[in-house]
Homo-oligomer: A and B are copies of this chain.
Amino acid sequence: MDENKNYKWVVARRPKGKPVKKDFELVTSDIPVISDGEVLLKTLYLGLAPVMRMYMQGNPTAGEKSLNIGDIIHGRGVAEIIESRNPDYKVGEKVQGQIGWQSYKASKLSFSEKFFNCPDKGINYAHYTATLGMTGLSAWGGFLDCGQPKEGDVVVVSGAAGGVGSIVVQLAKIYGCKVIGIAGSAEKCFWLSELGVDEVINYKKENVDTRLGHLCPSGIDIYFDNVGGEILQAALEHLAFEARIVLCGSISEYTQINSTGPKNYTNLRRVNGMMKGFFVYNYLNKFDNCMEALGGYISNKKLIPKLDISDGIETMPEALMRLYDRKNFGVQCCRVRRGPYDNAI
């Protein structure tokens, strides 16, 4: 990578099904020149999230504008301010926010870009794209606010070894729940067990419905859904009285043209159950509280954040594909260039 150029990934075409390489195009330009009120950001890390494929589809979302062919793909990340014409920001400060898939950005750090400061805590800055960023807020807000956990609750988490899931399973243990994690490989299941998850289900090898029946004889109190589809339907067969389903993600459905919805949704009735939608940008006003809580858990080792890092901005498309191939292990992110604390936990 030439540090004197700006590398940008743009939408080459709308993805059909899972994203593939031809959907992306890498273009280069000069490093932007900043105006009054702006800062120049040098990207350190970019986070990956399933929603990026939806942006590429041109789908409108409440949080970010829809993209056209040729537009820089939306993506939040961590950057260092290397030049400032904004009195509120100093050179050397690190910020996280809507940078886009690019190696430099000129920005006013405006409200719509949702930038937050990244204090120097001696930890890997990648965590600010992950547990100490929107991924952490998704896990914390979804689990606590929609899930309403109580000690002793039976909590089932799909995509449990993924970005949000791996945080939720640990939060559920902190809150005194019995936790069942669903993941797609023996390695992920083993890692979940090491994290303290009580029971694991490998959905590629086991019948999830049958296993949930065995593991949850009194039913599921909280089902935290990251995947949708058949696993959501299986969970709906085993709800406890007043069960809460947290709809955080449904990655198994995003690439389907005709997704059908959970045909057994009426099972919510007999148990006075609830299915609650969660969208992280609706929780930005709780960001500080969340960071304080999660930062504390990380400091006292109650929460072990897991990063799945790919190196170099040229790996961004592959990193997004890993999410859709369900290969990521913890929060998927990309190290655009080396920075401080790269090797710290």
Binding site for B on A (CB under 8 A): 61-62, 228, 241, 247-248, 250, 253, 258-279, 282
CA distance in complex: A265, B261 (Å): 6
A263-B261, A266-B247 given; A278·B272 CB < 8 A: yes
Max chain B C-beta neighbours (<10 A), residue from A228, A266, A267, A273: A266
**Which chain B residue lies CB-closest to A273?**
B277
CA distance in complex: A259, B276 (Å): 22
A228-B266, A266-B228 given; A272·B279 CB < 8 A: yes
Inter-subunit contact A275/B270 (CB<8 Å): no
Task: Give chain B residues whose Cβ lies under 8 Å from the Cβ of A262.
Answer: 261, 265
A61-B270, A260-B260 given; A275·B265 CB < 8 A: yes
Inter-subunit contact A263/B259 (CB<8 Å): yes
Task: Give chain B residues whose Cβ lies under 8 Å from the Cβ of A271.
Answer: 277, 279
CB < 8 Å neighbour of A272 from B261, B263, B270, B276: B276
A261-B263, A265-B265 given; A274·B272 CB < 8 A: no
Inter-subunit contact B272/A282 (CB<8 Å): yes
For the complex of A and B, list the 9 residue pairs with the smallest distance between their C-beta atoms, beginning with the closest: A268-B277, A261-B261, A269-B277, A261-B263, A275-B275, A260-B260, A261-B262, A274-B276, A62-B270
Question: In the complex, how many angstroms separate the beta carbon of A51 from the nearest chain B beta carbon?
Answer: 10
CA distance in complex: A273, B269 (Å): 17
CA distance in complex: A263, B259 (Å): 6
CA distance in complex: A299, B282 (Å): 44
Question: In the complex, how many angstroms separate the beta carbon of A274 from the nearest chain B beta carbon?
Answer: 5
Task: Give chain B residues whose Cβ lies under 8 Å from the Cβ of A247.
Answer: 265-266, 268-269
Cβ contacts A to B, 30 pairs, < 8 Å: A61-B270, A228-B266, A247-B265, A247-B266, A247-B268, A248-B269, A253-B266, A259-B263, A260-B260, A261-B261, A261-B262, A261-B264, A265-B265, A265-B275, A267-B277, A268-B275, A268-B277, A269-B277, A270-B277, A270-B279, A270-B282, A271-B277, A271-B279, A272-B277, A272-B279, A273-B276, A273-B277, A274-B274, A274-B276, A275-B276
Task: Give chain B residues whose Cβ lies under 8 Å from the Cβ of A274.
Answer: 274-277
Task: Give chain B residues whose Cβ lies under 8 Å from the Cβ of A253.
Answer: 266
CA distance in complex: A248, B267 (Å): 11
Task: Give chain B residues whose Cβ lies under 8 Å from the Cβ of A270.
Answer: 61-62, 277, 279, 282
Question: In the complex, how many angstroms separate the beta carbon of A217 from the nearest chain B beta carbon?
Answer: 17
**Which chain B residue lies CB-closest to A260?**
B260
Task: Give chain B residues whose Cβ lies under 8 Å from the Cβ of A258.
Answer: 263
Given contacts A62-B270, A248-B269, A262-B265, 14 further A-B contacts (CB under 8 A): A61-B270, A260-B260, A261-B264, A268-B275, A268-B277, A269-B277, A270-B277, A272-B276, A272-B277, A272-B278, A272-B279, A272-B282, A273-B276, A275-B275
